[in-house]
Amino acid sequence: MDSGSYFERIVAARALLFVPGDRPDRFDKAVASGADAVIVDLEDAVAEADKDAARSHVDDWLSRGGNALVRINAAGTPQFDADLELARKHGCPLMLPKAEDPRVLAEIDVPLVPIVETALGIEAATALCAVKNVARVAFGSVDLATQLGVRHDDELALGYARSRLVLASTANDVAPPLDGVTTDLHDESVLIADVAHARRLGFGGKLCIHPKQIPLVRQGFMPTEEELRWARRVLTAGDSASAVDGQMVDRPVLERARRLLAQDQRS
C-alpha cells in the first residue's frame, strides 16, 4: 500500500465507512460504496472470539491489493501487538481507539487516525494532535458519552469535547477532525442535523456505519450554494478592507471565502 498517498486521502476525506473485519465479503463492496476512505474494523465490530480470524481476513485482503485504514484494538489489549504488526507489515494507516497517551502514538510508525473517546483523551487532545504521524483525529462520541453518563446524541453535553478537538487540530495544523457515527439508520433528518452541527463547530468529515449515509455526509461537509455565492462576492470586492452585503470584509474574511471556494473545487 502507498501509505503516503493514502495519508493525503485521509486528510481530504469527508465520509469514511466502517466495515467489520470478520466480513471479508463486504470489503470490496465498501471500497466501491463511494466513501472517501474505508476503515476495516478489528475492534468494536468483531466479537472477542472472532478477532484472530478477522485479522487473518484483513491480512489476506491487504496482501491482494486491498486499500483501507485498519481500526486496531486499543493499546493494552491482548490483540494490540498482533494488530499493530499487521499494519506495519502492509504499511497501511490505522485508527487507534481509546487514544490517550501521545507516547503510545509516537511509537507507531504508520499514518495514524487516533480516536479520542475518553475524558482523558479529550484532556490530552493537543498533545495527541502534535504527534508527527497523526493525519487527523476522530471523535468517539458514543464511547465518551457512555463514560460521562450522558446521551451520545446530546449536542450540549458533548459540545466542549467536540470544540476541544477542533481547537487542538487547528493549533497543530492538522486537518479538521472527523465526527463520530450517527447510529440512527432510518431517519435521514437526524444524520443531516448531525452533519450540520459538526460542520458548524469546525469538523471536516464524519465516520459512517452504512453506505447509505455516505452521500448525505459528503454533501453536508461541502459549502452550500449560498456560501459559494457569498464567497464569490467577497473576492470580487478586492483585497482591501471593504463591505459586502453590509458586512465588513478584511483579510480574515477573504481567507474564509478562498477556503470555501477551494473546498468546492475538490468535490
- Is residue 143 marked as binding? yes
**Per-residue confidence (pLDDT) for residue 257, from 0 to 100:** 74
CA distance 20 to 137: 20
Output the CA–CA distances (angstroms, integers) from residue 216 to 15, 198, 260, in the order listed: 9, 13, 18
Task: State the fold for domain 3-221.
Answer: TIM Barrel (3.20.20)
117 is in an annotated binding site: yes
Local mean pLDDT, 10-residue blocks, the chain (267 residues): 74 96 97 97 96 98 95 96 95 96 95 97 98 96 98 96 98 97 97 97 97 97 77 70 62 75 67
The alpha carbon dihedral of 181, 1, 49, 26 has a sign of positive
Q: Quick one: how far is CA 212 from the chain centroid?
A: 17
Return the exposure string of 115-135: e unless at least 16 CB atoms fall within 10 Å of the residue's CB, then b: bbbbeebbebbebbbbbebbb
pTM, to two decimals: 0.88
- Say if residue 71 carries a ligand binding annotation: yes
DSSP SS3 for 122: helix
Any idea where the domains of the chain sit in the sequence? 3-221, 226-265
pLDDT recorded at residue 184? 96
Strand 242-244 and strand 15-20: the pairing is unpaired
Q: In this predicted structure, what is the pLDDT of residue 236?
A: 78
